[in-house]
Amino acid sequence: MLETQDWKDFSITSWYDKFKHITMETVILELPEVVLDKLIYHPASNQSDGEEEEWDEETPLPEDFKEDFKNALNTLGKTVFIKNNWHSPTDAKMFSIGNALKAQNIDDVILYFTTSTAIQQDFSNVKGVPFCLALRKWISIHPAAEFRCIVINNVLRGITPRDWPTFYGHYKEEGRQIIDALQEFFAENIKENFKRKHYTFDVILSYPDKPYVLDFGPLNSKTNLYAFSWKEINPLLNKEVPKEVSPVFRYLESDIGIMTRAEALRKIKLSE
Ligand SMILES: Nc1ncnc2c1ncn2[C@@H]1O[C@H](COP(=O)(O)OP(=O)(O)O)[C@@H](O)[C@H]1O
Ligand SMILES: [Mg+2]
């Protein structure tokens, strides 16, 4: 379970202003109680008369929230990607048109948030951090361009594709370039600027654009490390390393068809 300080440090409300220039444009709206209530999943009660629970679905949204939401859509371009402070409702994708999770109105937000387990878990687990709705400019992202970077003691140690385990032939040819680009990006923009010393950041790298950050996240046994395992990352946390150490970029080296995550890890370990 994360501590309140973890929730605070990794909330987009904590890092957005500092990293505005290297992430996509975002409007963050704090969620008033009435709006939050609409975003929380209320299971229908089993009362014999079939009446709904106490909460009132018909409570209107506050006018100023509606106004802020409308302005955000106008600023960001009508269609947005949404998150709470920490997560996007990607596990609610099946409810969205074309699997794209595009939100165009408050009803979309309510649908995605109430049907997302990740979002609902945050709402029930987190204490001491005001909940928000982050509306982000919607961009089309090629899955091969998404990387998760692992930072240990303020040093970039690992890079993994987020689309894992999928084989992309160009990773091999461009491996050195990818490492160099991400290392330079990290050194110039993130190192020492993020307030933790162990963390992950997710980044989009697609030439000829500059890399940009999608998200920051905690580094612990629960973190999805894709091509890496916590077993191999954990011991590095207490190890001093020279500042110039080069990160490991781990990817699938050959197309071995569809396999499970465990199989992929086994395979990659054997070939190292
Ligand atoms: N602004 C955006 N527009 C379109 N797709 C996005 C946007 N931001 C993220 N995504 C997609 O959604 C996925 C999850 O986004 P992310 O911000 O990392 O959420 P989470 O922290 O819940 O994983 C990303 O891997 C990316 O493919
Ligand atoms: Mg994330």
| C-alpha distances in Å from residue 138, one per residue of 87, 123, 147, 257, 264 | 15, 24, 18, 31, 31
Beta-sheet strand order (sheet of 155-161) = 212-217, 199-204, 146-152, 155-161, 248-249
What is the pLDDT, as a whole number, of residue 94?
72
Beta carbon of 256 within 6 Å of any ligand 1 atom: no
In the chain, the percentage of residues whose pLDDT exceeds 70 is 87
Between 36-40, 41-45, 53-57, 188-192, the lowest mean confidence (pLDDT) is in 53-57
What is the pLDDT, as a whole number, of residue 272?
53
What is the pLDDT, as a whole number, of residue 2?
79
Beta carbon of 163 within 6 Å of any ligand 1 atom: no
Q: How far apart are the first and last CA of the chain?
A: 33
Other CB atoms closer than 10 Å to residue 172's CB: what's the count? 13
Beta carbon of 122 within 6 Å of any ligand 1 atom: no
Query: pLDDT at residue 127 above 80?
Result: yes
What is the pLDDT, as a whole number, of residue 104?
95
Beta carbon of 202 within 6 Å of any ligand 1 atom: yes
What is the pLDDT, as a whole number, of residue 261?
63
Closest ligand by atom to 122 CA: 1
In angstroms, the CA 154 to CA 125 distance is: 28
Q: Work out the pLDDT band at 21, boundaries 50, 70, 90.
A: very high
Beta carbon of 148 within 6 Å of any ligand 1 atom: no
The alpha carbon of 177 and the centre of ligand 1 are apart by a number of angstroms equal to 24
| Ligand 1 pocket: which of 81, 85, 87, 204 to mutate (most atoms within 8 A of CB) | 81
What one-character-per-residue DSSP string does 36-47 give? HHHHS--PPP--
Compare 3 and 35 and report the one with higher pLDDT.
35
User: All domains of the chain, ordered by start, with CATH?
Assistant: 4-137 (no CATH), 143-270 (3.30.470)
Q: Work out the pLDDT band at 101, boundaries 50, 70, 90.
A: confident
The owner of tokens 């020279």 is: 242
Beta-sheet strand order (sheet of 26-30) = 26-30, 132-137, 80-83
Average pLDDT, stretch 144-163? 97
In the chain, the percentage of residues whose pLDDT exceeds 90 is 77
Which residues, by Cβ under 5 Å, contact ligand 2, an ion? 215, 217
Beta carbon of 81 within 6 Å of any ligand 1 atom: yes
The alpha carbon of 140 and the centre of ligand 1 are apart by a number of angstroms equal to 10
What is the pLDDT, as a whole number, of residue 43?
87
What is the pLDDT, as a whole number, of residue 181?
97
Angle between helices 106-114 and 117-125 (to 10 degrees): 80
* Closest among 131, 127, 133 to 112, alpha carbons compared: 133
3-state secondary structure 120-132: HHHHHHCCCCCCE
Identify each DSSP E strand in 94-226 by its residue range. Answer: 132-137, 146-152, 155-161, 199-204, 212-217
What is the pLDDT, as a whole number, of residue 97?
65
Residues 111, 95 contacting (CB under 8 angstroms): yes
Q: Closest Cα to atom 19, ligand 1: which residue?
A: 88
